[in-house]
């Protein structure tokens, strides 16, 4: 018989609450209705285990001895149901023989109406007693689900029918339910990799990097080709664990229609799922046809066909609608259990109808707001603040006699660069909150340090507004606070950028990002040390111990001219170097 759609819906719903590892403790009340373990694969067709009883008739209150036996198995689930209405609730109650191997469960309103295992320990034989209730139907059939191992199980293995005395024969004969619920289609092996021919003209394609060749070992590829009332789908990418794509109404994971190709012991299992929050709840693959796969040199490929509309399946979206499309990859264990993807999924920049006009598009693993956040922070803390600090520290004597808008040039340049830093940091600071809609619990220390940097960035110009006059007694104290606050902010900003570069929402290429940031820090410290050494040597040079005051002044004037030229050359080189580092980071952000 066929398993009703309601049972599938209930099963998929309860899977979210069940552990992804199944039910090793045997407490499987969530599966009372469907008797299907949430193991993400289809049941086997031909049962290896058998249910036997010690009689064929019963009267209310009788005890029927029930046996389950066969090759080694880890888990089991036994119920008795109305033989003419097998989708009805469990009937009667059970009594245990060996509490080490079995335990009683309550399904629905009937206490002790099911029996299950107590652990994953292997067993060959289970014996229990079924107690017939006073309101028992005329015919009762015993059913069992048996789990040999995680991915190998049989659902609703039919057992004997026991009847009340003089009851007429059942009107509905029982078929093997394991065959009825498993409508999986044959799976074949792909003989050659996919290709991009027809992308944008005959089929809708998503490629990352853009325009990459799906035969390449670094290309993520997803295509949709409409064929009458169905769509043929191809998916490939570098992964030895799993590949998955999802259709979503927004750019957030949750409530989405997902499809997974999972490497299980060098065989690829293709299944459908729906996303409860960030967690995929696997279900039967019987909505998919023409399933094929290939796993060669670390590249996983799978293809399948599904109907454009599947009204019988609650969680399947209509393919003639418009959706954001996610493409993710990650690791899976030998049993096919998938782990969270280690980087941000590829997400299309807009909503698309895969059965509409064929297109050949790319996507991004980083949302635009997060890209803007990273870019503005790099501009602020790699260029404007670094150059501003160098100018204030080493160019006072060089530009002390040059004025801009009524103030010394070094001061105006320094103030302009620092105010630009405050503006860029403030704009960048709010972007993650707009994107996340609040505080992120997934970003570790990065947001905490970012808030500290933002606070110091605002405090620094406010403190500068109350700067004492040059010869005031508190000027030295102000200088010390101003320097220490700025230095602390710069150090924390660099640490925060180090942490932020590898977060999933940005995730710059690793280890390139770390080495490049280390290179920038070394570049800045090197220039700073060079200018400090130069200033020290300049001071030593003008300390000419002579009695002739004119000679001292001449030496000082010559040294100042020489120092001015050297510092201007170093500043030019420094600015160019910072622009090179900034360009490298911005180019990397643009590529993700």
- pTM attached to this predicted model: 0.58
Does the pLDDT of residue 423 top 90, yes or no?
yes
Walk me through the domains of the chain, giving residue ranges and CATH numbers.
Answer: 29-163 (2.60.40.4060), 188-364 (2.60.40.1210), 368-591 (1.20.120)
What counts of helices (H) and strands (E) characterise the chain? 9, 24
pLDDT category of residue 233 using cuts at 50, 70 and 90: very high
Rounded to an integer, what distance in angstroms lies between the CA atom of residue 204 and that of residue 394?
A: 58
Report yes or no: 191 and 301 within 8 Å, Cβ to Cβ.
no
Report yes or no: 54 and 64 within 8 Å, Cβ to Cβ.
yes
Does the pLDDT of residue 6 top 50, yes or no?
no
Average pLDDT over residues 223-245: 93
Condensed to tens digits (0 to 9), the pLDDT of residues 481-538 reads 999 999 999 999 999 999 998 887 887 877 888 899 999 999 999 999 999 898 888 7
Phi, psi (degrees; rounded to nearest 5) at 450: -60, -40
Closest to 115 in 3D by CA, of 86, 81, 163, 78: 78
Condensed to tens digits (0 to 9), the pLDDT of residues 398-414 reads 776 777 777 888 889 99
pLDDT category of residue 545 using cuts at 50, 70 and 90: very low
Read off the tokens for 527. Answer: 């220039």
pLDDT category of residue 42 using cuts at 50, 70 and 90: confident
Residue in the block written with tokens 């069940």 = 18
Residue 462, Cβ density class (10 Å: 0-12 exposed, 13-18 middle, ≥19 buried): exposed
Does the pLDDT of residue 177 top 80, yes or no?
no
Closest to 317 in 3D by CA, of 249, 244, 363, 228: 249
């Amino acid at each position: 018989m066929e398993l009703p759609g309601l049972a599938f819906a209930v099963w998929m719903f309860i899977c979210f609450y069940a552990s992804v590892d199944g039910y090793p403790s045997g407490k499987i009340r969530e599966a009372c209705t469907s008797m299907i373990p949430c193991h993400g694969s289809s049941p086997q067709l031909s049962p290896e285990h058998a249910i036997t009883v010690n009689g064929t008739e019963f009267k209310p209150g009788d005890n029927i001895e029930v046996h389950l036996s066969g090759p080694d198995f880890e888990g089991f689930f036994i119920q008795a149901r109305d033989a003419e209405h097998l989708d009805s609730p469990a009937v009667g109650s059970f009594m245990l023989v060996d509490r080490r191997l079995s335990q009683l469960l309550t399904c629905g309103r009937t206490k002790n109406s099911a029996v299950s295992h107590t652990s994953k320990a292997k067993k060959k034989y289970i014996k229990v007693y079924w107690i017939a209730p006073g309101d028992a139907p005329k015919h009762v059939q015993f059913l069992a689900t048996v789990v040999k191992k995680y991915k190998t199980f049989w659902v609703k293995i039919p057992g004997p029918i026991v009847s009340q005395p003089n009851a007429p024969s059942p009107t509905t004969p029982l078929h093997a339910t394991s065959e009825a619920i498993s409508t999986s289609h044959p799976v074949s092996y792909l003989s050659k990799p996919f290709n991009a021919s027809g992308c944008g003209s005959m089929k809708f394609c998503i490629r990352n990097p853009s325009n990459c060749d799906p035969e390449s070992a670094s290309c993520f590829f997803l295509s949709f080709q409409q064929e009458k009332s169905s769509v043929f789908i191809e998916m490939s990418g570098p992964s030895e664990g799993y590949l998955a794509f999802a259709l979503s109404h927004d750019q957030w994971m949750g409530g989405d229609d997902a499809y997974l190709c999972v490497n299980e012991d060098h065989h690829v299992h293709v299944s459908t799922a729906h996303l409860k929050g960030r967690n995929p709840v696997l279900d039967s693959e019987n909505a998919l046809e023409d399933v094929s796969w290939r796993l060669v040199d670390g590249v996983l490929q799978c293809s399948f066909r599904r109907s454009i509309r599947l009204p019988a399946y609650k969680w399947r979206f209509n393919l003639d609608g418009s959706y954001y499309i996610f493409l993710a990859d990650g690791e899976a264990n030998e049993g096919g259990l998938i782990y969270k993807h280690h980087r941000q999924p590829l997400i299309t920049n807009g909503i698309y109808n895969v059965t509409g006009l064929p297109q050949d598009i790319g996507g991004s693993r980083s949302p635009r707001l997060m890209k803007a956040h990273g870019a503005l922070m790099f501009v602020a803390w790699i260029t404007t603040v670094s150059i501003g600090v160098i100018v204030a520290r080493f160019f006072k004597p060089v530009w002390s006699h040059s004025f801009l808008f009524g103030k010394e040039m070094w001061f105006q340049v320094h103030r302009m660069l620092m105010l630009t830093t405050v503006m860029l940091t403030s704009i960048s600071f709010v972007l993650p909150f707009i994107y996340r809609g609040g505080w992120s619990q997934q970003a570790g220390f990065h947001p905490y340090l970012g808030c500290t940097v933002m606070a110091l960035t605002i405090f620094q110009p406010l403190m500068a507004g109350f700067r004492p006059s040059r010869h005031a007694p508190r000027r030295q104290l102000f200088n010390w606070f101003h320097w220490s606050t700025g230095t602390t902010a710069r150090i924390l900003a660099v640490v925060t950028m180090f942490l932020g570069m590898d977060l999933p929402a940005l995730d710059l290429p690793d280890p390139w990002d770390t080495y490049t940031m280390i290179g920038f820090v070394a570049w800045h410290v090197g220039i700073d040390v060079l200018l400090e050494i130069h200033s020290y040597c300049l001071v030593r040079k003008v300390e000419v111990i002579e009695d002739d005051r004119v000679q001292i002044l001449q030496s000082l004037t010559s040294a100042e001219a020489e120092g001015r030229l050297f510092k201007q050359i170093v500043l030019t080189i420094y600015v160019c170097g910072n622009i090179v580092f900034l360009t490298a980071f911005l180019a990397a952000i643009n590529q993700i």
